[in-house]
Structure 1
């Protein structure tokens, strides 16, 4: 479908993406998703209007056009969450384009976002999180690989790192101190405390690793010395959770959720947890409040003396 897009429309899209990168610090993964979503939108509108002339199809959008696009997405099997993400990208692009080309943006910007129920994080219990780390460490016959995998998972749970952030560490970050400087989504920087158990796990891995740490090389290496793939960590976690009888939601990202939820349960301040996680919005962190409330309600239901 993208072949129907005119060079002018492609140039507009690339200029918008460049602006999003430069002005908002959008991450590469975010920009890739934006490009795909907006390309599909432009292609649909181009074909919907029956031509490929310049930016013409985007200059005369109506509410009916937007409804046709939404119906097209729904007919293609897109869920409400996916549609909401696509619409958000399109609105951002069109708002930028309308300012530059003098288009009337009302039809696009007034399109309602499909309602969907946000999925709450699914944290592990403290015992399950510890068991996950212990089990991951014995998955591989090579001790250094087991130590590596345990160190990565310990950083996710002990420091609340995203898997991309843990695997983004370099040799220059050694030795780990009391805190770690992390560059997260959108280039946002934060400082996270490093627990002694996390420092010890990384130190064990470094001591056992056959590849000496180099300042500009990845800290966590694959079996052949290259950068460690996130998929390998996902796989070893999957194997461990199956051994432990944990649900499919026990993923590497669940370890990060567990970090936040357990801090909150212990009386951690929501604003502080937001900073530790690197969330841009407090509303994202507030999802953990709901998780903790569910836990408290379960305790209440189990312990309250009923009349």
Structure 2
């Protein structure tokens, strides 16, 4: 990393002059005087301790060093322009940034976003999915809805739903014997050791099989008939209602707690309240068709 950097204006003046092959044309494009462009180039050459242009009267041509620097400078300025344009999303007046897990987004939230948008078209929702729990103090997030949350400073924390888990598979596998069915393994609560510790019935699960770190992919694999998985009652609701997933037993066990974190800067904002009220209502009306709880 350089300890000292040349002025950005000098790099911009150099890029335009090199691209156009003229200090005069560069001055016109940047609405500066030609002497100002010349001064910028001289200061850049002094900083780099080598010439960037061959000068002959009013005509200029790049040196080898100038050609090299032009490629680097154009790439730098393009990346900077893209980054600055991307920041515009943070200035949208009605934007609400919601963080959640990829699994919750794909299997529960996205299928219901049409309803939310119909009820609240004024909300410019940005759905940010991450595998890791966000740090609300350092990230631009209004609300996080996840199954891996705990209290954080400057945030309101609330448990919304206590999930249940059960073993399930595609209906096409129900006629197979337990030995014929592949076992699908997940992480955390979706690991079969959790089912066993909580007193779950033996459904023929094996220690070997297919392994998934993404719980959404685990559920997808079960719905596609790849094997038997321990699934979230909340996330599997749509698949169960559509008939692509069937429970192996009527028993369920305790799963993760779904909760939210709301940054206190956003807590009383109308957009945040609209989303939270809709979310609570949608979760309340979540129809599991649930097996018996244990």
Instruction: Please indicate the TM-score interval, normalised by the length of the shorter structure.
Output: under 0.3
Give the structure with the larger strand fraction.
2
TM-score normalised by structure 2 residue count: 0.23
* Structure ranking higher on relative contact order (CA contacts 8 Å, 6+ apart): 2
